[in-house]
Amino acid sequence: MWTIIAEKELKEHLQSARFIVTAGISMLLLIASMALGIQHYKGRVAQHDQAIQMMLETAAQQTNWNMVPAAAYRKPDVMEVFVNGVNSDIGRFSEITLMRNVRLVRSEFSDDPMLAVFQFLDPTFVVLIVLSLLAILFTYNAVNGEKESGTLKLVFANGISRAEFILGKLAGGWVALLVPVVLAFLIGGLMLILMGVEMDAAQWGKFGFFVLASVLYFTCFMLIGVLVSAFTGRSSVSFLVLLVLWISAVLIIPKASTMLAGQAMPVATTDEVESRLASFATQARTEFFGGMQQRWRERFRPTEGMKPEEATQYQAENRPAWEKEDQDARQEMEKKIADHTARSYEEYYNQKNRQEQLAFSLAKMSPASMFQLAAMKLAGTDTGLKRRYEDAMKNYRDQYTKFVQQKGGGFGGMRITVGRGSGGSVSMGGSQEGTKIDVGEMPRFQSPQYTLGEALTASLFDLGLLTIFNILAFVGAFIAFLRFDMR
Amino acid sequence: MKQQPIIEAEGLTKVYEDGHCALDHVSFGVQPGEVFCLLGGNGAGKTTTINIFLGFLPQTEGTAKIHGVDMHADPLEAKKHVAYLSDVVMLYPNFTARQNLDFFARLGGKRNLTKEQYYSVLRQVGLQEMAFEQKLKGFSKGMRQKVGLAIAIIKEAPAIILDEPTSGLDPKAANEFQSMILHLRSQGRAILMSTHDIFRAKEVADTVGIMNDGKMLTIKSRKELEHEDLEKLYLNYIHGKVAA
Amino acid sequence: MIKILLEKELRDIVSSTKFAITFGAAAILVILSFYVGIRNYEESTREFEAARAVNASNVASLTDWRQVQHKVFRKPQPLQVLVSGVTNDIGRTTEVRPHGELTLINSRYNVDPLFAVFRFLDLNFVVIIVFSLFAILFGYDAINGEKESGTLKLILSNSVSRADVVLSKLLGSFLALVVPLLVPILIGCLMLIGFGVPMSGTDWVQLALVIGGGLLCFGVFLMLSIMISASVTRSSASFLFSLVIWIFSVLIIPKGAVLVAAQAVDVPSLDGVEAQKRKFTLGQFDQRFQKMGEFLRADITRDETWSQRFVAFQDSLNKAYEKEREEYYRKLNEDWRNKKDHQEQWAFALSRLSPTAVFQIAAMNLANTDVSLKHRYLEDLNRYQDEYAEFLRKKTGSSGGMQIVMRFSGQQGAQEEERKSLNPTELPEFAERGRTLGETISASFADLGLLALLNILFFVGAFVRFLRFDVR
């Protein structure tokens, strides 16, 4: 019996101008957003490759590893086509130097504020805003509209149970919306292949789950629509109620919750953290230099009474030990700074995590945030992206500095020798006059892996919430309809 | 001695751009104290006639005069003399019965009426006292029709045009409505109403004009009707068995 | 006649449930956006002051101006929290060196991606999304809704001209919706005063213009949807039509326009420009090295004044290279900037197909958070850099830049005198010059004018459509 209802529902939708216009528009938007996204992604890849290429070219001109403008670049990921997330907000690369901590700078939006003004049109946005609005548009009069047009009574003049009716209605409406959405994503997938974008199995998997999340999300709004429609007598009222719900869920709750959390749990700013770190480092270095000066004075003291030859002899004998002592002191100082830095950042990130957790748990009152967070985590463009890259870049920095030190560079790279009355020279540590360095030896930065498994684990909770939300809304709509006053 | 008709149609013709002829040289007149019923099925031309009389639609040929003023030539002057009750009377759902009445009364030129005067008209059309200051949202069709009639009455225009006023009313409401119309007739108003309800037409009309396919087939007075079965007459005309 | 119709229009709108719900939501959001903006401003100001204090204490802990890593911070402006524009996307912190190119780092969103996820709720957002939707909800059935309820025929059966009816409809619904909207806006303005946000006279004028622009934007959607209502017979159809236009103009056109322009107008990547600069600078570095080596080999008398001579030599080197570098960078930057400007012009010209984009561009220009904020700020910074270099030259006797300072352990006295801590208040104060009121207004004038023009256009459109409207 319910299949008759479902069939009627499907036909009714497919034949209505409303459906053709709106489903056509959302399909068009989904496809257009993916096409633009792919183009943009290709641009990003080209930019990334070019940046690395140019870095290597400049490096190849150098005779000294200290002069290499080393940097680690964030590698574009195809998933950005679907979920741009915070990708354009966080820095694209970090300089890798001994003197500075890793810091992602020059985000796409800061380089090109033009893009930031209206932000991106990615499929996530289309699903988030347009599909949810569409879902409401299709369901706001699902029950009370049939009452208003009198068809509800006509239907129930036949031997059909309420449960069958509502099931059929939901199924029919759902399929009607599902078809254009899935079709649009299939076309998107085809475009990816045709436009020669390389995707591995994990990325296809993430894409699949993203489509699943999208379907869960708009189903959610459809169910809410039916629920409200079965709760209110008049369709004009249910539309208004749904519109207010939609505005709050999609536009207000997410924004308001992050801002509330930001105000409830303020976190020290990076400027503060960095300045504190800088002053700690300056102090540690001053201490180190002071200590070194002190030590050298002590070391020369025994030579005061000696003849010049004896003094030279003495110095020559002890120099290796002294240099070793200095080296150890320097290493100790650097370790002290590194430890302190690590601790400060750990603390900073812990604070930030707590703030973020509060913000996101508040935001999850709205299914829109559940979807958005799940999508970002699936694509790896969530707030954790920055942390993942920074960690990977820190490791790379350690690796790279070790490499440079092996090559003879290192702290205070420049060496000036000034002889008394004999002229002098300026040279860089580790440089061999005239020979260019071999960039082939340079360790390369590897982007952090974000596997399908990790993506799934991260987004599982949000996807689960979305599913639960769906079940609740379904049960709600079901019960509301069973109690619906048909008169 | 025949008076000057208040509502007067002369050779009214309406041909649409696509060539469809909705009215074909229709002429009639409604005297003060006369109820003229336009009788016909869907698409006969009743509503087109009324739309022309209210200036909603320009005619192709002929004239439509209200109180001697040509509706087409001077619509604003002509409309001063006509009150109207439309087939759809949803009115303003957020206004109370009195507020609806107040708005349309003032539009009709009755500027300084007191609350009591509004109430008295509402009472006259038989609306329950408790509904006077209630929003129209919860009103039934019959109640809204009563407010609509009150709007038509309060203008105190010599001509009243009613478009399908009794459709969708229950017998009691329709009956009350009918007696209101007769009351208005007794005040000397000229009333033009369209209907497809033969029995209602027979009961209230002084004159019945039977229309079909844009043509006025015949105009019969009440006296003439008494001898004939209107239903038979109507069906005969429509099927073209009796030549006009 | 018009008075009666106007009065009815006002009453009809204000007494509806639709108005109660939507106006309530809009009012809450307006007030919320002001509140959030104010709190945000307070928070950013706190951060700004804290960062400055840390900078000052860092300076104070040093003894030599040459060691100073001086940082300046972008000062939060009250209007920037109401119309955020690109303010959270571009960096806030700059390390000022006496020479070399300055960069902006630590943008709000880069530092706090948390806020980038859902972005901020500002007044601009409320106007664009909520006001426009609000307008459509009341405009879509203004004409055909009255037809459906039979009242249009009733009205026109009286001695009322169509012009009067449509005029009162347009003016009435505008007044009935705009006047109530002014209430939460005024409350928001009072909150600005109450919370003690330091708004200058210029700020108030600019805020007033932003609000005016917002109301014009609202008007555009109202007039447009009334026009649609007078062009389409059924209100359900006109609603769908208006909603589609809303989705396109609010959500699709602006984003699409920028992305299309970004692809159609080619601008070389900034990374490429940076790489060219780096290459050039490294080349200079090499040359400088050789010159220094030559100096060391040539000037071999190590007398008292040797180290001063060495510093002076480095200074002259710096000056020469700095000039060359500046020239080269300037050319590169200008080149890139021209291409970028061209692209931006295209993007914004395309996006102006949407009235909300027109408003947003006008509002950002008024709040000085438009795309050229970064460019303007960097220019201010460059001026400050000169000032700072001059200051350092006075303090240290050299104009800074790459410096090698030689100290011979024998020369005791010099060391002792340098032990004195630095006084951070001596640093020249950085003030963002920004734009004058005149410049701000002239930057937004065209867009505000366009909004007004669109209002008139749709007003006339609705008027003409209604005169031809089939009331049957």
* pLDDT given at position B119: 94
**DSSP-based three-state secondary structure for B101:** helix
Give the model's confidence band at C406: pLDDT under 50 very low, under 70 low, under 90 confident, else very high.
low
Is the pLDDT reported for residue C311 higher than 80? no
Question: CA dist A287 to A145, A291, A330, Å?
Answer: 80, 6, 10
Tell if the CB–CB gap between B89 and C472 is shorter than 8 Å.
no
Touching A (3+ Cβ pairs <8 A), the chains are C
In C, which residues are within 8 Å of A372 by CB distance?
Answer: 117-118
pLDDT over 50 (residue C410): no
Please compute the mean of the pLDDT values over residues C313-339 and round it to a whole number: 85
pLDDT value of position B7: 92
For C62-118, how does the pLDDT look when each residue is reduced to its tens digit (9 = 90+)? 788 877 888 899 999 889 889 988 888 888 889 888 878 888 888 888 888 888 888
Give mean pLDDT, residues C136-160: 91
Contacts C25 to A, Cβ<8 Å = 244, 247
User: What tens digit of pLDDT does each residue of A239-285 get?
Assistant: 889 988 998 999 889 988 888 888 888 787 777 787 778 778 878 88
Contact criterion met (CB below 8 Å) for B208 and B39: yes
User: Touching check for B83 and chain C: CB below 8 Å?
Assistant: yes
Among C32, C73, C247, the residue with its CB nearest the CB of A130 is C247
In this prediction, residue A58 has a pLDDT band, given cuts at 50, 70 and 90, of confident
Question: Could you tell me the pLDDT band of residue A376, with boundaries at 50, 70 and 90?
Answer: very high
The predicted pLDDT at position A426 comes to 57
Does B96 reach chain C within 8 Å, measured CB to CB?
Answer: no
Q: Is A177 in contact with A23 (CB distance < 8 Å)?
A: yes
Predicted local distance difference test score (pLDDT) of residue A473: 94
Please give the residue of chain A at the shortest CA–CA distance from C354: A118
* Mean of per-residue pLDDT scores for chain C: 87
Q: Quick check: A429 pLDDT over 50?
A: no
Residue A181, pLDDT above cutoff 60: yes
| A128-137 pLDDT per residue, tens | 988 999 899 8
User: Looking at the complex, does the CB of residue B180 fall below 8 Å from at least one CB of chain C?
Assistant: no
Rounded to a whole number, what is the distance in Å from the CA of B142 to chain C's nearest CA? 15
Mutant choice from C252, C284, C408 vs A, greatest count of A C-beta within 10 A: C252
In this predicted structure, the answer to whether residue C416 has a pLDDT above a threshold of 60 is: no
- What is the pLDDT of chain A when averaged over all its residues? 86
Output C214 or A352, whichever has higher pLDDT.
C214
Subunit contact B107:C156, Cβ cutoff 8 A: no
| Residues of C with Cβ-Cβ distance to B83 under 8 angstroms | 157
pLDDT tens series, chain B, 244 aa = 457 889 999 999 999 888 888 899 999 999 999 999 998 888 888 989 999 998 888 899 999 999 999 998 998 899 999 999 888 788 888 889 999 999 999 888 888 889 999 999 999 888 899 999 999 888 888 888 889 999 999 989 999 999 888 877 788 888 888 888 899 999 999 999 998 888 888 888 899 998 888 888 888 888 887 777 777 777 777 776 554 4
pLDDT surpassing 80 at residue C426: yes
Mean pLDDT of C18-23: 89
pLDDT at C417 over 50: no
| In the predicted structure, residue A300 carries a pLDDT above the cut 90 | no
Is the Cβ–Cβ distance between B71 and B78 less than 8 Å? yes
Measured between beta carbons, the chain B residues lying within 8 angstroms of C161 are 76
Tell me the per-residue pLDDT of B109-165, one tens digit each, with 9 for 90 and over.
Answer: 888 889 999 999 999 888 899 999 999 888 888 888 889 999 999 989 999 999 888
Whether the pLDDT of residue A98 is over 80: the answer is no
From the CA of C16, how many Å to the nearest CA of chain B? 6
Interface test with B, best of C5, C19, C159, C169 (most B CBs within 10 A): C159
Q: Do C153 and B54 touch (CB under 8 A)?
A: yes
Confirm or reject contact between A304 and chain C (CB < 8 A): no
* Chain C residues with CB-CB distance to A243 below 8 A: 22, 133, 137
For residue B148, the chain C residues in CB contact (below 8 A) are 154
pLDDT over 90 for what percent of chain A? 30
Chain C: residue whose CA lies nearest to A372: C117
Chains in contact with B, counting 3 or more C-beta pairs less than 8 Å apart as contact: C
- Which chain A positions have a beta carbon within 8 Å of C93's beta carbon? 271
- For residue A84, what is the nearest residue in chain C, using CA coordinates? C117
Please name the residues between 53 and 112 in chain A that touch chain C, using a CB distance below 8 Å.
54-55, 57-58, 61-62, 67, 69, 85-86, 89-91, 103-107, 109-112
Mean pLDDT within C406-413: 48
Are B107 and C158 within 8 A, CB to CB? yes
Length of chain A: 487
Helix, strand, or coil (residue B12):
strand
Kindly list the residues from chain C whose CB atom is less than 8 angstroms away from the CB atom of residue B139: none
pLDDT at A368 (0 to 100) = 93
Residue B64: its pLDDT value, please? Answer: 93
pLDDT at A228: 94
- Are A121 and C110 in contact (CB < 8 Å)? no
Q: B235: Cβ–Cβ under 8 A, 6 or more apart, which residues?
A: none
Which among C252, C293, C297 has the least Cβ separation from residue A29?
Answer: C252
> How close A255 comes to chain C (CA, Å)?
5
pLDDT of A399 above 80: yes
List chain C residues with CB under 8 Å of B88: 148-150
**Which chain B residue has its CA at the smallest distance from C151's CA?**
B91
Structure confidence at residue A413 as a pLDDT band (50, 70, 90): very low
Contact C149 B90 (CB under 8 A): yes
* Mean local confidence (pLDDT), C400-420: 52
**Interface touch C259/A36, C-beta < 8 Å:** yes
Maximum CA pair distance of chain B? Answer: 56
Mean pLDDT throughout A156-181? 88
Q: How far is C194 from chain B (nearest CA, A)?
A: 38
Q: Which residue, among A26, A237, A255, would best test binding to C if mutated, counting the most C CBs under 10 Å from its CB?
A: A255
Q: What are phi and psi of B168, to 5 degrees?
A: 85, 5
